[in-house]
Amino acid sequence: MTAPLRYDPFAEEVIQDPHPVYKRLREEAPCYHVEKWDCWALSRFEDIWNASMDAENYSVALGTTASHLLTKVQPVTPMINLMDPPEHTQLRSPLAKFFTPGAVRRLEAQIQQFVDEAFAEIADRDEADLFNDFAAKVSVRVACLANGFPLEDAPLLNRLVWRFFARDEEHPAGMTPDGLAAMNEMFGYFIQLIQERRRKGLTGDTVVDLVIGAEIGGRKFADEEAASHLSMFIIGGSETFPKTFASGVHRLWQHPDQREQLAKDASLIPDAYMEMLRYDMPTQFLMRTLKSDVTLHGVTMRKGRPVMFLYPSANRDPREFQDPDRFDIRRRPPRILSFGHGIHACIGRHFATTEGKLCFQKLLAHAPRYEVREDRLRRIRTEFVQGWESMPVVFQRR
């Protein structure tokens, strides 16, 4: 007899492996009421795709995470991803020039240098942790480069971001007290940076300068508000790539035939990286608040209630992807939701795909064959992100 369908993002079985319940949600209750939290969960691709473009009915202004909207342990601070139009448009439009494909191409040589330097530190080892010793180091330096943060502060910012997302047994639901402390320390760091940039004079040629000088709704940001926005850029720019890279390393180890194809033909890596993003998207959901009643699949969600967009479920929806539970580096779907969609789609996605391309090129050129140390793997245990917090491998030399 089939057990009743129950979904709670904080449930242990969901944190361990959400895909069995995601499959049931898609088939049995694509617009599901999460009774414990009095919120809704959307699990099908088309529903989330369309809702992501509907800023009239879905708002980000009250928060986008469980810590904002469910446990309410995280205060809502000014961030571009927590702004509705027109304020969102007024800030994102001028920022977009720093994140275009052309802007990323102009920085690709520097990103390649970061990749080379990070890999050189582990190249002569027999074993290495490709999450912490490689991908995380590259990612935070790229985020600093992209946004105009001092490169020498990359290790400090990486530690703060790690603490921000950490969970523990005492605080399994939402942010921990140390995570909140890390957020406050991050704000303090950026306030100091902002004050320093103001003293030197703003040039407008970095994200930092543009945010400091931005005028939204007829006024400029206070230092605390600008610091909050800049915190989002380091968090978003450094946190997800190492998880995606580590999951990709693991999947290629599980599929050595596909790993061999990539090692022989590096031109396949960009499509392979998109498949890694589809198959193992780290972010489990982002949320909206209903600005009006919305009816989906015969169910009415009432104004004022939170709604979860279950992106990894959508990326395994058989209505959108043929044989969606199969990992296939040659899959080229026209649409995925791994960078979101609509006005709040990830602004740094071109940096992320470039990092993925360059890091896998480097790894597979150096070690086309490697073994994952499964006995030392550690999974991330949070409601918000899935994946690994380490990826220890043994290099098998040519």
The whole-angstrom separation of Cα 256 and Cα 342 is 36
92-119 tens-digit pLDDT: 999 999 999 999 999 999 999 999 999 9
What does DSSP assign to residue 97?
G
- For helices 154-165 and 136-147, angle between their N-to-C axes, nearest 10 degrees: 110
| Torsion sign across C-alpha atoms 243, 248, 254, 260 | negative
Task: Look at residue 169 and tell me whether its pLDDT is greater than 70.
Answer: no
The pTM for the full model equals 0.94
Q: Which one is predicted more confidently, 203 or 189? A: 189
CATH class of the structural domain 12-396 = mainly alpha
Closest CA to 144 of 179, 81, 101, 189: 189
Distance CA 62, CA 287 (A): 9
Helix axes 177-200, 223-238, angle to 10 degrees: 120
Q: What integer pLDDT is reported at residue 398 of this predicted model? A: 60
Which two tokens mark 125?
Answer: 């080892």
- CA dihedral (46, 80, 99, 262) positive or negative: negative
CA dist., res. 37 & res. 159, Å (int): 31
pLDDT band for 396, please (50, 70, 90 cuts).
confident
Model pLDDT for residues 33-55, shown as the tens digit of each residue:
999 999 999 999 999 999 999 99
For residue 73, what pLDDT is reported? 82
- Taking residues 236-254, report their average pLDDT: 95
Q: How confident is the model at residue 171 (pLDDT cuts 50, 70, 90)?
A: low
